[in-house]
Structure 1
Amino acid sequence: MIDKLEFFIALAREQHFGRAAETLGITQPTLSAAVKQLEDQLGVMLVKRGSRFQGLTAEGEQVLTWARRIVGDARTMREEMRAARKGLSGRIRIAAIPTALAMVARITTPFRERHPGVSFSVLSRTSIEVLSLLGNFDIDVGITYLDNEPLGNVVSVPLYSERYQLITAAGNALSDRAQVSWAEVAELPLCLLTPDMQNRRIIDHHLAEAGAVARPTLESNSMIVLFSHIRTGKWASIMPLNLAETFGFAEPIRAIPIVEPDASHLVGLVATKREPHLPLVAALLDEAMAMAEAGLAASGNHPPPLQR
């Protein structure tokens, strides 16, 4: 039954028989037959019938919740047995918000040094997509904001606080200032992330608090695009301090703290709330906690607890 439940999860995710079959590497008739067999075994209709996929029935939604739990438990069992035989190995799938991508290596590098049999795939996704991918078992962990929008049924490890800077070229307006206000920044030609990004929603919120409105002259879902425009000397942006430091801005680019308010938002590692976790996920959560404790100890702060 496990394989049929995996097929059903894929169908619910793709909401299209053809696309789901393609992602599973099977034919559409095979998928349709598996779903029908699952319905026969359970004695309920799972999918609304029609010429095309029309959604799940109420019973289908209930079964989807169980299917995710059962498939997750089966995978955990297999991974635990493999770890018992061979040690930690396999691939960890990570999705991170764009502003956190630069710090992923701080977790993956020491983790792989301890567990050389592990490999990683890292995707750039919006905060909403991170949570959706987690819920559909398409990733193992995510890195996203923890304190701005609802996270749902996850465990989290706070990693760092994101603080915001005006990033601009020397000689531009406000570039000689020690700090600037959100209201002042709103008057500059800004390049910002697109509105579907939580970072942009955070920026819009703080601008609104200052009585201003974001009117960017360029929007992109790529941090590389924003950096390349800043380097022309004709654009400015609002970015987290840790991200600007990672890219090593030097003269003639300046990073200036934004105040009024002096805002910060917590970023951390998230995983589906379940016990036990996959061995790889449990080990990565421990790695993230150690990293957070070390970083906060260096700054003289107390480490935040694992949010379960």
Structure 2
Amino acid sequence: MIDKLQMFIALAKERHFGRAAESCGVTQPSLSSAIRQLEEQLGVQLVHRGSRFQGLTPEGTRVLERALKIVGDVRALRDEMRVARSGLSGHLRMGVIPTALPMVAELTRPFLARHPNVTLSILSRTSAEILNGIESLDLDAGITYLDNEPLGRVAQTPLYTEFYRFICTPDSPWSSCESITWAEAATEPLCLLTSDMQNRRIVDQNLADAGALTSANVESNSTIVLVSHVLGGGWCSIVSKRLADIFAIGGRLASVPLIGPEVEHIVGLISARRDPQTPVIAALMEEAQRYRIRGA
């Protein structure tokens, strides 16, 4: 039953029989047969069929919700048994918003030092992709904003407060200023994150509150692209203080505090809400609490 539920989840995600079969490592006829057997066992039709996948039936949507919970609980149980047998181990998939990438090693280095048998994949994702990934079981945890847009039912641990800085080259007139307002920043040629990023929505909102229209000459989903354009001259940007501090070392860029107002948001670790948590997630949450206590 669990294997069939996993195939059904894959089909709902991929919305294509061939791609779902490939992701599960089975042939398409095997996947189709498993879905039909699942329908027979449950006594309902789960999938609208034609020459191709045409979506889930209402019953299929309800089954998907339960399937995600059942498969998640089974994975958690397997993790618990693995820990009981051989200690904490496994592979952790974590999505991180771009503005938090400069700090993530401060969390993961001590975590991996305490738990050397755990492996880790760190993926740059938007806040929406992180929530979707946790819900669909594609991600185990995420680092995202906790206090700006709705998170739904997730477990969360605050990590740090994000502040914002205007970055420019050392020869910019703003480089020697103690601060710059959001309205003043809007007068400069800006390169910013794309609108699917929550950080961009935060920036846009604060510019709008200052009575300024957002006009980005360059947009990217990568903070490194933004910084590289500023380093090359001709552009400025608004980034997190942590990222700005990295490139302000040695005077490569100037980092100017944004005021009027000075904005702050809480960034933290999230995961699916389970009781109990999987051993790996519980250990990661404990490390996040230590990180917070250290005042990092």
Shorter chain as denominator, the TM-score bin is over 0.9
For residues 1-308 of structure 1, the aligned pairs below 5 Å read: 1-295=1-295
Post-superposition offset of 1:176: 2.0
**Helix, strand or coil at the partner of 1:192:** strand
Shift of 1:247: 4.2
What is the CA-CA distance between 1:165 and the residue it aligns to? 0.6
Quote the sequence identity (%).
55
The alpha carbon displacement at 1:73 in A equals 1.1
Amino acid at match of 2:158: P
The two structures have a TM-score, normalised by structure 1, of 0.94
Describe the SS at the equivalent of 1:231.
Answer: helix
Tell me, in whole angstroms, the C-alpha distance in 2 between the residues paired with 1:157 and 1:250.
Answer: 33
- Please report how far the alpha carbon of residue 102 of structure 1 lies from its aligned counterpart in structure 2 after TM superposition: 1.2
Aligned residues: 296
Q: In the aligned structure 1, how far is the partner of 2:256 from the partner of 2:220? A: 22
Q: Which amino acid counterpart does residue 160 of structure 1 have in structure 2? A: Y
Q: What's the offset of the Cα at 1:248?
A: 5.0
How far off its partner does 1:294 sit?
1.7
Gap change, CA 1:30 and 1:208, over 3 Å in 2:
same
Give the Cα separation in 1 of the matches to 2:55 and 2:265: 37
Name the SS of the counterpart of 1:48 in structure 2: strand
CA contact (8 A) 2:89 2:117 kept: yes
Q: CA deviation at 1:245?
A: 1.8
AA of the residue aligned to 1:141: A
The aligned amino acid for 1:61 is T
Counterpart of 1:299? none
TM-score, with normalisation over the residues of structure 2?
Answer: 0.97
RMSD: 1.1
Equivalents in 2 of 1:102, 1:5: separation in Å? 37
Checking the alignment, whether the CA contact within 8 Å between 2:248 and 2:255 is kept in structure 1 is: no
User: 2: CA distance between counterparts of 1:103 and 1:176?
Assistant: 26
Contact 2:191 2:217 in 1 (8 A): yes
Instruction: Give the Cα–Cα distance (whole angstroms) in 2 for the partners of residues 172 and 246 of structure 1.
Output: 19
C-alpha deviations, 1:47-73, integer Å up to 9, x for none? 112222111111111111111111111
Moved more, 12-21 or 129-138: 12-21
SS at match of 1:295: coil
